[in-house]
């Protein structure tokens, strides 16, 4: 696996986000009303399909803001390592019902497989499990880009605040 500047930047950003998740959003003894926790920040670890980007490790950061108990907007930035490097960003709308979340929205892909930046549409689902102050959410996403469907499967480790 080669490490170039974007790869190092993506890993550094993920490590910084993990650090913020564990320290910056309140002390363990500080009780926060659940209704106040309208924002989330998290780290995504997963794999992409081999169809468009071949197989690759995907690392990313994800943040979101809930306008209501059921509706949110999210920002996603993922970098795929492996045979082909690709940067993917998306701004999906999120619908939550119970522990299930469904999301869809526009985005972009930039990398070795593209001539510049290409538009994509990401749709996906996840199911969140609480583990203390962290939420663990297995995800399945499909990116529709340039006539291809790219499957992204992984786990989001998020912290509401």
pTM exceeds cut of 0.85: no
Average pLDDT over residues 8-19: 51
pLDDT category at 37 given cuts 50, 70, 90 is confident
Query: Strand 134-145 relative to strand 86-90: parallel, antiparallel, unpaired?
Result: unpaired
Domains annotated on the chain, with CATH: 5-21+37-160 (2.40.160.20)
Average pLDDT over the chain, rounded to an integer: 82
pLDDT category at 36 given cuts 50, 70, 90 is low
Q: What Rg value do the Cα atoms of the chain yield, rounded? A: 16
Q: Tell me the CA distances in angstroms from 52 to 27, 64, 69, 74, 125, one per residue in order.
A: 43, 27, 36, 24, 21
pLDDT given for residue 116 in this prediction:
80
pLDDT category at 114 given cuts 50, 70, 90 is low
Number of Cβ atoms within 10 Å of the Cβ of 147: 6
Average pLDDT over residues 146-154: 91
């Amino acid at each position: 696996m080669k490490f170039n500047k974007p790869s190092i930047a993506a890993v550094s950003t993920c490590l910084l986000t993990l650090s913020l998740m564990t320290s910056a959003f309140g002390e363990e003894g500080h009780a926060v009303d659940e209704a106040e926790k309208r924002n989330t920040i998290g780290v995504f670890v997963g794999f992409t399909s081999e169809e468009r980007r071949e197989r690759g490790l995907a690392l990313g950061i994800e943040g979101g803001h809930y306008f209501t108990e059921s509706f949110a907007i999210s920002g996603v930035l993922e970098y795929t390592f492996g045979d082909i490097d690709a940067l993917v960003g998306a701004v999906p709308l999120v619908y939550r019902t119970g522990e299930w979340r469904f999301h869809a929205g526009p985005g972009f892909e930039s990398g070795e497989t593209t001539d510049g930046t290409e538009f994509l549409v990401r749709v996906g689902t996840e199911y969140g499990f609480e583990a203390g102050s962290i939420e663990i959410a297995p995800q399945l996403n499909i990116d529709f880009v340039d006539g291809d469907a790219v499957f992204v499967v992984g786990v989001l480790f998020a912290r509401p605040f």
